[in-house]
Amino acid sequence: MVKVEKFINESIGKIRDDVNGRAIIALSGGVDSSVCAVLANRAIGDLLTPIYIDTGLMRKGETENIKRIFSDMNLQVIDGKEYFLNVLKGLTDPEKKRKAIGQAFIRVFEEEARKLDVKYLIQGTIYPDRIESEGGIKSHHNVGGLPSVIDFEGIIEPLADLYKDEVREVARALDLPREISDRMPFPGPGLAVRIIGGVTEEKLEVVREANAIVEEELLEQFGPWQTFAALIEKGTGVKGDMRVHGWIIAVRAVQSRDGMTAEAMELPWETLRKIESRITSEIPNVSRVLYDLTPKPPGTIEFE
Ligand code: XMP
């Protein structure tokens, strides 16, 4: 604990020394950017503007949660829902989707930064990000690599030497709520990589609702490393006495140490049945629910 307190005090001091003007941070709601925002806010107060982009690819309730948790900061919430849907229009290839989302993030963020006349960028890059960005099977999109157009006077990365577990410890010491400090990983491109192929508003709504049900049923009770719902395609089913052509939802729940390998969790049958029954009854246009048994490798954790 002493080490954590020391890290917090030193980081705040260092940010205060290094930042000499307005600064921004892209706040995603993940633990890294949240911790950075709190440290920077303690260091420079209202000189920091955290920017949160609501891409429409977020989980249920995410934007409201962020607004509530960071209500004492100078937070700017940008509604990018239409823009991101537009950017994704017609794209079905996973890597093209990732790239388009990454570029859209940069564009929106830079536009806001320009309006604010900021000089400094604060980023939640952690130690493994630096390693990963050198290799990488997927073009992992994070808001890293941002400063392409804007000439920042300084880029500050207070967490650059920390591992994820250490960031979580700092988050707890900073009194961030557990929903942030203990949060499971969520991909930067959000629900877009949990929809196979093209992204539409309808598919987003379905996968968002299904995901919320899966989290409710599994997160607290089974402590998975990661769990979520993905939307596969359409399939035929029967609801009432009508044949329906409804969405197929896959449920994923894995244990893993670092995301590099993973095992599907062995869940009780009645839990799986309850998830199936909730998803098919609470979301009208879903006709089928599958449970993914595939370990990584040969699968990946996400579906795209
Ligand atoms: P995969 O699917 O490659 O996922 O087995 C391993 C871990 O990485 C997350 N993931 C991503 N994170 N941008 C991210 O920031 C991405 O494009 C991305 N793709 C996968 C995934 O959720 C898992 O934790």
The pLDDT tens digits along the chain (304 residues) read 679 999 999 999 999 999 999 999 999 999 999 999 999 999 999 999 999 999 999 999 999 999 999 999 999 999 999 999 999 999 999 999 999 999 999 899 989 988 998 999 999 999 988 776 665 545 554 544 454 566 788 999 999 999 999 999 999 999 999 999 999 999 999 999 999 999 999 999 999 999 999 999 999 999 999 999 999 999 999 988 899 999 999 999 999 998 999 999 999 999 999 999 999 999 999 999 999 999 999 999 999 9
Gap between the Cα atoms of 22 and 19, Å rounded: 8
Torsion of CA 167, 172, 174, 180, to 10 degrees: 80
Instruction: Say yes or no: CB of residue 172 within 6 Å of ligand 1.
Output: no
The two tokens of residue 164 are 């994820």
CB 51 within 8 A of CB 67: no
Cα(302) to centroid(ligand 1), Å: 6
Amino acid at 157: E
Res 110: pLDDT: 86
DSSP 8-state assignment for residue 191: G
In ligand 1, the atom with minimum distance to the C-alpha of 303 is: 2
Which of 129, 138, 215 to probe ligand 1 with, by most ligand atoms within 8 A of CB? Answer: 138
Res 130: pLDDT: 78
Res 291: pLDDT: 98
The two tokens of residue 200 are 């539409």
Instruction: Say yes or no: CB of residue 189 within 6 Å of ligand 1.
Output: yes
Res 147: pLDDT: 47
Give residue 108's region: left, alpha or beta (phi > 0; psi -120 to 50).
Answer: alpha
The DSSP line for 229-286 is EEEEEEEEEEETTEEEEEEEEEEEEEE-SSSSSBEE----HHHHHHHHHHHHHHSTTE
Res 133: pLDDT: 64
Res 132: pLDDT: 67
Q: What is the pTM of this model?
A: 0.92
Gap between the Cα atoms of 30 and 187, Å rounded: 10
In ligand 1, the atom with minimum distance to the C-alpha of 139 is: 17
